[in-house]
Amino acid sequence: MALASDVNSAAAGQTVASRRRKLSRMEKSEIRWGLLFLSPWMIGFIAFYLLPMIASFGFSLFNFNPAVPEQARFIGLNNWQRALFQDSEVWLSLVRTFHFAAISLPISLAFSLFLAILLNSEHVLGKNVYRTLFYMPSMIPLVATVLIWNGVLNEQTGWINVIIERLTGIQATGTQGLRWLADPNLVYYAYTMFGLWGVGNAMIIFLAGLQGVPTELYEASQIDGAGYFRRLFSITIPLISPVIFYQLVLGVIYSLQYFLAPFVLNQGTGFPEGMTRFFMVYFYKQSFTFFNMGYGATLAWMMFVIALVLTAVLFGTARYWVYYASEER
């Protein structure tokens, strides 16, 4: 038995060895050239992503002020303990962030998908002009966008309030009107409007997905008597579900990192009533206002873990609702 086992092992080893062959000179040359062309990206990734991430995790274990680096003191997991169990503002800022994401993300996805479906219709004239017009605002710098909408939503002279007042007769201007950026019940919807003005990128991606749906499926469904909404929910949305999933993942990560609008408008004060003190705003204040860089690094890693977990959950549940044409079920 032992002899037979040795023979079988030797035969298996010879089989594996026979499968391995020496690379030709041309193949080795291709590998070297491939590594050469990849090396700028690899060097950049290591220098500007991997090493800073490792350094930031190291900072999270220190009481570190960049203004006086010589006074850095190792404190172990104290920063983590403070963030998880002692600092209530961390969890409050997370709640505000998720609250805002629950409002803005569905509206943004639905609006960009609606625009894409509308501009993919064969009944719309001048589609290229409209596509250009809807995409153009996404090219405006975000700071400029925030300042523009700060004027548009002004409670005294903003044209949104003026239009609402003239169409409905409801007092929308003045101190008793709609204070979009000063009312805690409206501020998240105001920030959502900022994002809706720049949905051009998402609209273009959705439009590309819609144009990839086979037209013969629509023709067959029309012959079977399916109406527009039946075709929309039974053909269009299932076939572009990979695009929806892609936009959802990006939207979740972007919502968790929301920072610019509250910082530009309120300098991170949280106005009104602390509703805009999102997690990234609190992170910025700790890191670059109070120069508590060790604690700021802890908050950054905490957000990284949260985003990683949410992304993993989305990928884990994708197999139940995302359809891939090449995938066997």
> Per residue in 279-315, pLDDT tens?
999 999 999 999 999 999 999 999 999 999 999 999 9
Structural domain total, the chain: 2
Same domain, 222 and 289: yes
The answer to whether residue 326 is domain-embedded is: no
Q: Which two tokens stand for residue 233?
A: 């929910």
User: What's the rounded mean pLDDT across residues 158-170?
Assistant: 91
pLDDT at 170: 87
Q: What is the C-alpha to C-alpha distance for residues 234 and 110, in angstroms, rounded to an integer?
A: 17
User: What's the rounded mean pLDDT across residues 29-38?
Assistant: 93
**Phi/psi-derived region of residue 21, left when phi > 0, alpha when psi is between -120 and 50, beta in every other case:** beta
Q: What is the C-alpha to C-alpha distance for residues 83 and 218, in angstroms, rounded to an integer?
A: 53
Domain assignment of residue 37, given as a range:
2-59
pTM of the model: 0.87
Share of the chain above pLDDT 70, in %: 92
The answer to whether residue 166 is domain-embedded is: no
pLDDT at 2: 47
Q: Model confidence at 210, in pLDDT bands (50, 70, 90)? A: very high
Q: What is the C-alpha to C-alpha distance for residues 1 and 136, in angstroms, rounded to an integer?
A: 77
Same domain, 267 and 211: yes
Is residue 66 classed as helix, strand or coil in its secondary structure?
coil
Same domain, 222 and 303: yes
Same domain, 17 and 130: no
pLDDT at 54: 95
pLDDT at 3: 46
Q: What is the mean pLDDT of the chain?
A: 90
Same domain, 23 and 101: no
3-state secondary structure string across 182-237: CCCCCHHHHHHHHHHCCCHHHHHHHHHHHHCCCHHHHHHHHHCCCCHHHHHHHHHH
The answer to whether residue 263 is domain-embedded is: yes
Same domain, 223 and 305: yes
Same domain, 246 and 133: yes
Beta bridge partners of 63: 73
Same domain, 10 and 135: no
pLDDT one-digit tens code per residue, 102-151: 999 999 999 999 999 999 988 888 889 999 999 999 999 999 999 999 99
Listed residue (174, 147, 148) closest to 161, CA to CA: 174
DSSP output for 101-151: HHHHHHHHHHHHHHHHHHHT-TT-TTHHHHHHHHHGGGGS-HHHHHHHHHH
Cβ neighbours for 291, distance < 8 A, ≥ 6 positions apart = 65, 66, 67
Q: Quick check: 286 and 292 in contact, CB under 8 A?
A: yes
| CA separation, residue 278 to residues 109, 241, 253, 275, 298 (Å) | 21, 30, 14, 8, 16
> How many Cβ atoms sit within 10 Å of the Cβ of residue 83?
20
Same domain, 122 and 36: no
